[in-house]
Structure formats: structure tokens, C-alpha cells
Structure 1
């Protein structure tokens, strides 16, 4: 008698699986490091791996051990060396390979550290094709080597002349992080942040030295243009709190928030307390009930707090959930609010010229807001009607601003990271993306044609221009950047002259009116292949001439070569792979020393001899390349 097939819905002893720690991390990496990615986003997994290792070095420095950290990245191999106390030699293997093993559970040893859960280096170990840790301690050293989290060699203790500390070397597993590459600017920001929060700490990275003497004051000086500041940066320090504040000429609010040296990119209770406390202090100082949006408009501020036993909303620690600073102590709201009410109020009384400049900035915001009020109301009524039947937007199910709670919290957080809106032009390109997208996490916004060049115009144009108004509503950024609905805003245009122009016009829109989207790494350019090279056995998609030549060589003979002149020429079936797990996208980045108005004036202002020369020289090179390949 044939054995009956097992019912797929049976729930018995055989349904229960126990995974080793490294198997679980590799099966569900998003639970430990957020998203995977290829390195094109600042929150991609390869940067989280690096951060997890460096965080341990910073905690040692915070405790008073080790004044410098050496970091090197060469061809995908990452080496991090600190000069702290070094892992106790008898626990070298356990610390990097046993979940919930570490010194940070003892709050007497690490009072206000970043890494509290004993998971960080284990995740790095499990997600690396090769991982080696060496502890140097009191004239002795011990090394352990791993592959994908599995111990391959445990060395015996031996004598050493090296100073105390720990060295970790790892190679991210390219079967997990596909086509990954490190972008120097992301690491540059990360290392500077470590130094701003730990005055005197020296980080040496690939021959470059990072060190800060003035903490958050240095951070804001680097992030702002001195010529555009309304008043000198206000820098306030207290026990377990540091704040820097100024106002610029740009739109929006720009914040850099930190907890125990951790850059909380999504803010949390400390940032909410700052935003509320700042408004309250300003109202009380000027004895006037200014609108909160007028007080915070154009602000650029940084806040750092140190908290005992911080509670973060995810393993990657990008949002603080703690409401208290330490056991039995004040709420975060009271702690930050009281500090501002005392120290900021005192500063403004002592510096009347700063107080006057701040008042003028607030009143200018108030005037601009009232001027916008009438047109804003009409535009929003139009947008509301249009949104009911908005053919421009094909939305997705998950959004970046979804509330992550309950049993599906981890799933929602993972999907939030993936949320993407493609801004594309033309029905054919929009159609291909719409048919091949992931409806859970990918939305499409279709442009009618070339958007308006908004350089030099006021924010009134965002409401007067129907397309811009619908776009800001789709992104949900009208009132503030915190309610952004998509983590990734991807401009998807043809790689021809018209497509390049549309890219520039859209980037002008974001830089002019919503610069925080660019500064916080949310805006990208979609890269799609220029060529398809194939024979009967294999198809290779190539993104530039070099890749095309390599593909022709690999396939041999005379393969068929197709050049894609526009996104509409790529079938939906093919397009699916270009916006899937292996999507290539180039981040739109602003270096700290780059000032928005200067950039926009150069590219989008009236033609100057310099710009004409730049366009002629560079366009000729690009056109020559195109002619060679057609």
C-alpha cells in the first residue's frame, strides 16, 4: 500500500526546527542588519557590518581605553584594530560566535554603551565568507578563524609584543551581499560622526585621519555653509547631553541625532523631545506664540544624549524608543526640555544679537507661510480630488512611515527599508516598471513630460504646479520629512540627452525645496543596461562599453548585440531583474563642502561661459561614446 502523502497543514513534532545561531542569521539577515543591498545606500548591510565592529571599539574608548582605531578596506577585505583592553583570551571564540555572550550585559562595566545585545559581531561573523579575530592582552595573543560563522581554526595562545586591543578582519559574503561595493563618502560621514561624538578620538582609515576637538560644533560647521547662516552656531553642553543649533536659508528641517554615540537616522524620543522643547523655549523667551513650523523652518541642529540601557526599535539602532534617561531618572521629554529651558534661554539672554537674528528668521518664515496659505489651500483641494483617481501614482502596500508593531513588527521594518518609488517619464517606461515591480514595496509615479525648471523660484511653485504638488503628496513630505512614505526615491529616465535633462530638473526640485531628502540619502538614479549581449546559451546585460566588450569576449563567436535606447525598449520580463534584488542605483550625494545654491546656480542658472564650456566638453565626450556603440 502506497505511503500516504503528508498533509501540508500538519503541525506536529517534525514541524519544529532548531537552527544554529549562524544559520538563523543567514536565513533572516534583515532581523539583524536591516537590509542587504549592494552598498549604494548608506544603510545597506555592508556598512552595518562595519559599524557593528567599530561600535565595540568606540565603547572601549568611551570607557577610557584606547585613543585610536585603525580601519582599512582593500578589495572587499575589512580590517578594524582598536587599542582597548582586548577580549579576554579565554573567551575569544565565545564573544564572536555565541549569541547573548558579551561584557555589555554587566552595566557596571559598560554604563552607556552602544552595543548592548551581544548580537553585533556574531552577525558580522555569520554573514562573512571569512572572519578572523585576534585579541592582544598583556603580552599574549589569541586568534580564531571562521567561515560563514563556522569555526575553522582556533589558534593557541602565544606571546606578542603588540599593544592591548582587538583586531577583526572580515570579508562580506558575496552570496549574501550581491555585487557589493563600498562608497567612500558614506564611510567618511560615519567616521566623522564617531569623532564628533568622541572628542579626541582618532580614526585612521586608509591613510586618512579623522579627529574632532569641538564635537557637534564641528559637525554643524561641516554640514552648513557659513555664508548662509543667519547667526553663529549655538553650542551647548551638559551632563549626558550636547546640542548645536543654527538656521540657514534653505527649506525644511535638518537634524543629526545621536544616542550613546549611535547615529539615529530615524530619530526617536530624544529628537522628538528636542523639537518640542526648542519650540517651547523659543515661545517663552520671546513671549510670543509663534507657530512651531515657523520656529523650526530652515533649522539645522544636532543633538547627542547618553542613556543608560537604551531601547532601540530595531537591531540596527536607527530609532530610539527609550522614554527615560536612566532608572528612576527624568523622562526624555523632561530631560531635554529642561536643558533647553535653562541653557538655551540663558544663551539667548547673554547673546542679544543672536536672539535678534533668530527672531527675524522666525518672522520671515511666518510671513512666507501666510503668503502661501491661500494658494496652498486651493492646491491641496485639487490634489485631494486628483488623488482619488491619480493615474500618476501606482502605489505599493508597505510604506516607510508605517507603524511597526505587534507580531509582524520585524517583517514591517524589513519591508520599510525596501520601499521605493520610481519617478519615470512616458507611458512605455512607466508601463514596463509597473508590470514588473514588486507591488508590496515598489510604487511608480509617472511624469507627463519634462518638469518645470524651478531654480530660483519660491515654494509657491510647488503648489501652483500640479505635477510637483501631486509628487509632494505622493511622497507625503508637504509638512515634514519625518512622514516620508518611501525610503528610496529613484529617478528612472532614459540615458539620453532628454533623460539627463529630466534628471537635472527633478534633482533641482528636491535640492531647492526638500534638500533633507538628498542629504539623508533617499534620492537615487536608476541604472539600467545599455546593451544586451546574447547567444543561444546565455544572455548578459551590460551597463557600459567595458562590460559589453567583456561579454562579447566571454561568449565568443559573433553574439547578438542589442543597444537599448530607452527604458520603453526593455520588456517587462527583462525589467523585473533590473529593479529586483540586484538593482543598480546611483545615490545622489551632496558632499559637506558642497553648497546647494552654488551647485544649482552653476547647473540650472543662466548660462555662464564656465558652464557652457563644461557642457560642450562633457557632452562631446558622451556623444562620442554613444556614436561608437550604435
Structure 2
């Protein structure tokens, strides 16, 4: 066998741009197309924004302006501006940044200066402009390569930095910025930086009450059991209340202004501290799950030189606060113990409501334990022959190690649709759960029904969310039903089930509706799938002549060979979102309560949109 030479020629050194473009996941997590809030295009915006926020924290610039027009993103701050001699280096040289001088940025987020360089490398167009001391300097790049530089000795522009970029469509396929996700991100920034104003496409975001505003903006106040408890300290802010309607725990957590969606040491300490303080206050050893059931809370802490578990900084790994300070656990515990205990002593009415809620949770848990046991035994038997779930190999619990792995569960109805998806899916990352006809309307029912109804019990088991969202097995839960009256009804029944028992699945952006094409337009050379009437007209014009047009009435009509295009990398998903103006209770009674004329009209109107496009030729 020939001896394979291993010499210096085999070792290839990638420059910074090539490395980022070859391994984007290392820098920005997953790529995605914008249908999920943690997709790469939002991380690019966030990386640019973090630098503006750090300026605000340093006391420079109270306003940030953002514009997103199609694929073009512009972010302008009124901070100190990048030193003019370093404008190019800061966005194109690794290990260059103003954050290494730790005195200036003790508790900042954009610590390693990789952020804007990643945005530069992953954009087909990137422009940075800095204005200070009556002068300005700008530089333009293409995929990280410098294409133009300009220096103005006299500039009337206000000081600050302006960055414009267009994410590269060869890396982020078919992407689209969803303004709802951007709004959510910007709101988090203003809650954590009181006094900051962000203007996004002309709309102003500002917060006076910090994390209290976060809970109020994400929920309807009428769903709260008691007024929000808001506790403020040096380097820590906490808000909490309990919900009247939801079963699960819900937390928002932040470190140095960074939304740690996967929690970490600070959130674990907080959950532990709340239970400990409440047990001590009432002098009773309540079960932790009863104390925390239905809790809605937020915690934000500031740590010196935080250690995160990944470049995207979604989970805090630090165990101490930095310098001479105590551990994160001790710091959070001491703060909650002192301040929450004081609050409960001063507000006996809140304390009484809280205790009643804990006792009620204990009662429900005991009632459920018998039926749970029975259901688990049934599920065990069913799991051996679970014909409903065709599972995949990779799950969200594995993908926490690798953020690029996405797993999806399609919930389908009927054998033909399930068959098409099952045959064309990617068995590594896509699972299918088949419904038998219409699921039960769970409106107004208690959690007991989840265990008594075989279909919902198996769905809960497939998702693995019985005890908490931490063990959720799929990033995306996709409802895949026909675009007809029955399909719409099944969607509503499933959304009702999730809203009633697992609303955080929707709040955290895991629930989607699958868009499937309404038409196929093709000639001998090309096939175009169209998702709307406009797309169909455009396809006919593009192919000219007399192309063949097929109208799809249901998922079962689409062959497995074709289906793989609609659930592959070009998949189109519509996220299911909650509007905080409506209480969960109102939403459920509107959709699934008694057949009021309003509701019938609403459903018929909304169905018509879907049906019209199907009926037209």
C-alpha cells in the first residue's frame, strides 16, 4: 500500500473570512431561513446591536435606529463612534476590539469582538461608517473583502456608528426577516436598559419598569393570580407572579443584557431560591413542583467576564460573579431570600393567594398521580407498538450539544398525508405523528384528559413535555393538515390543546403550520411549485407557452417524491404566535367555546382565504 505523505503542504490555514464562511455555525449557531427566532439572520442583527448597547451602557447614546427593508438591515447608534483609524480593523481583523480593556467593559456582552466580523464575512454587502470629532470614515465589504474606503475630514454627521448589511443568500437560503421576532428581541433590550429608546422602522420601543414591563407585555394582566412582585438590587433584577390559567413554569433569563434562552447557573439558582424562601416563609415543606407550578418569572444579573456554554451565549456556565464576589448561586439565593421574604411579610394578601395556589397544586398533583400511573403503564405498552409515532434519530436533547441539528415532528392527519411525509422525510431529523381523524376538543377540560385520551397521552409522551419543557424532543412541532375546512378545524383543535396545557410551547416559538403548495406549474424543462395565486401567475409568465397546471386539494395528492421538496431545505413554515392583548382564556373560549355568531364568522372568513386560493384555477 502506498505511503500517504503528510507534509506541510497538507496543512491549510484558512483566513478569518474563509473560516467563518466555511463554519458559520461555530459563530452564529444555526443558519435557518428566519422562520425561527434563533435563526442566523437574527443573530447577525443581534451581534451588531450588542455593540450599540455596550455604548449605551457606557453612557454614550440614548437612541438606536434600526431599519429592515427586505434583506437590507441598517443599525445606527449615537455612541462615541469607532476610533477612525480602527474602523476597518474592528470589523475585519480577528482579536481586534475595544472590549479587551476589561475596565471599560466589565459587564458587557460583545466580549470577544468576533460578532461584527462574522456579520461582515456572512454578508454580500457590509458597510460601516463611524463619525466623531467632526470627521467620518466609512468602509465597504463584500463577503468580508474590503471593496471601498472613504475618509471625510469635515463631516456634519452626528457622532456614532452606522452599519448596513445584506446577509448572503447562498448561506441563508430563502430567508425572510419576520418583524415579530425582531420586535421581541428589541423589547428585551429596552426592558434590560431602562432609558434606552430603540426606533425600528419608525416605531419606538422604550421601557420605564424593566422586567415588570416584560411580564406585562408577554402576558395579559388578567391572567395573573396576584400583582407582579418586582425586586431590584445591584447587578440583579427579579420579577415574578403566578398564572391563573397555565399549568407550566415560565421563565425569562438574562445575563449582562443577553437573553439566555437555555438558562444556566443563574436560573437554576433562582428556581431553587424561590422554593426555599417560600417554604421558610410559610414554615411548610411544600413540594418544589407545587410551589413553582404556573409561575411566570424573569431574572437578570450582571456578571464580570461571564462564561457562556457557546458562542451564541444562550446558556450561562459561570459559577461565580467575578473578582472578589460570591458564587452566582449564593448571590442569587441571598438576594431572593432577603427581598422576597420582606415582600411577603409586607403584602399578606399576595402571600395568602400564593399559599392557596400551592395547596391547590398539591391537591391536583395527588389526584393526577393515580391516573398518571395508569396512563404511563398504558403508554409503555403502546410505545412498544406505537403506530402513531415514526420517530427520527436526532432529538433536541441531543442537539443542545450541536445547535446546527434541528429536529422536527410533523403532526399529520389521515393515512395518505402521513404516508407521503413518512416516505419523503429525513429519517435523521424528521419524525411523524399520525392523528386518527379529528382530535378531541379539550377546551375547558382539566389536565386529567391528557392522560385519559390515548391520542393526547401519546402525543405528550412523543414530545416528552409531561414534567417540563427542558426535555422537549423536537425544535419544531409542525401541524401538517389539508388547506380545507376539516384541516383548519384540526389545526384549531391542536392549537387549543397546546394553548390549554402547554402554552410555553407556543410562547417559545416551537409551534408551526406547514405551508404546502397549492399549485404545480411545469413544462418539459422546469417545475415550479406555487404557494399562492400570485406565485402561480408569476410561474405561468415565467414558463410561457401553455404550461401544465395542477391544483393540489390535499396533502395526500402530493406524491412522496414531490413532498421531499416541501419539507426539505426549502420548507415554508408559519409560526403560531400569541397576542398578549388577549387572555389565554378569551382566546380559547373564542376559538373553541360555544358556537357564537362572531366565532363562526371569523372561522369562515379565515377559511375562505385558504379555500379561495385552492378553488381558483
Aligned residues: CA RMSD:
1.6
User: CA offsets per residue over residues 117-142 of structure 1, 9 Å max, x none?
Assistant: 21110111111110000011111110
Task: State the match for 1:387 in structure 2.
Answer: 383
Residues 215-254 of structure 1 aligned to structure 2 (within 5 Å): 215-249=210-244, 250-254=246-250
Displacement of 1:16 after TM fit?
2.2
SS at the partner of 1:309? coil
User: CA offsets per residue over residues 488-520 of structure 1, 9 Å max, x none?
Assistant: 111111112211111111111111000000001
Task: State the match for 1:276 in structure 2.
Answer: 272
Task: State the match for 2:160 in structure 1.
Answer: 165
The alignment status of 1:585 with 2:581, answered yes or no, reads: no
1:130 to 1:575, Cα distance in 2 relative to 1, 3 A = same
- Aligned partner of 1:500 among 457, 481, 488: 488
Measure the CA separation in 2 of the matches of 1:335 and 1:34: 30
Task: State the match for 1:199 in structure 2.
Answer: 194
1:11 to 1:534, Cα distance in 2 relative to 1, 3 A = farther
Give aligned pairs, total.
616
Measure the CA separation in 1 of the matches of 2:389 and 2:398: 18
The alignment status of 1:338 with 2:342, answered yes or no, reads: no
User: CA offsets per residue over residues 41-88 of structure 1, 9 Å max, x none?
Assistant: 111111111111011100111111111111111122111111111111
The alignment status of 1:259 with 2:255, answered yes or no, reads: yes
Measure the CA separation in 2 of the matches of 1:503 and 1:612: 16
The alignment status of 1:551 with 2:547, answered yes or no, reads: no
Contact between 2:553 and 2:614, CA under 8 Å: does it hold in 1?
no
The runs of 5 or more residues in structure 1 that have no matched partner are none
TM-score, length-scaled by structure 2: 0.97
Displacement of 1:11 after TM fit?
4.7
Displacement of 1:594 after TM fit?
3.0
1:395 to 1:11, Cα distance in 2 relative to 1, 3 A = farther
SS at the partner of 1:414? coil
Displacement of 1:623 after TM fit?
3.9
Task: State the match for 2:30 in structure 1.
Answer: 35
Displacement of 1:578 after TM fit?
1.2
Measure the CA separation in 2 of the matches of 1:529 and 1:621: 14
SS at the partner of 1:471? helix
Residues 91-490 of structure 1 aligned to structure 2 (within 5 Å): 91-249=86-244, 250-402=246-398, 409=401, 412-415=402-405, 418-490=406-478
Measure the CA separation in 2 of the matches of 1:321 and 1:236: 24
Task: State the match for 2:559 in structure 1.
Answer: 571
Displacement of 1:178 after TM fit?
1.8
Displacement of 1:624 after TM fit?
4.1
Displacement of 1:478 after TM fit?
0.3
Task: State the match for 1:539 in structure 2.
Answer: 527
Measure the CA separation in 2 of the matches of 1:59 and 1:617: 47
SS at the partner of 1:334? helix
TM-score, length-scaled by structure 1: 0.95
SS at the partner of 2:241? strand
1:607 to 1:233, Cα distance in 2 relative to 1, 3 A = same
Displacement of 1:12 after TM fit?
4.3
The runs of 5 or more residues in structure 2 that have no matched partner are none
Residues 67-86 of structure 1 aligned to structure 2 (within 5 Å): 67-86=62-81
SS at the partner of 1:340? helix
Measure the CA separation in 1 of the matches of 2:113 and 2:464: 37
Displacement of 1:403 after TM fit?
7.3
SS at the partner of 1:121? helix
Contact between 1:31 and 1:414, CA under 8 Å: does it hold in 2?
no
The alignment status of 1:48 with 2:23, answered yes or no, reads: no
Displacement of 1:156 after TM fit?
2.7
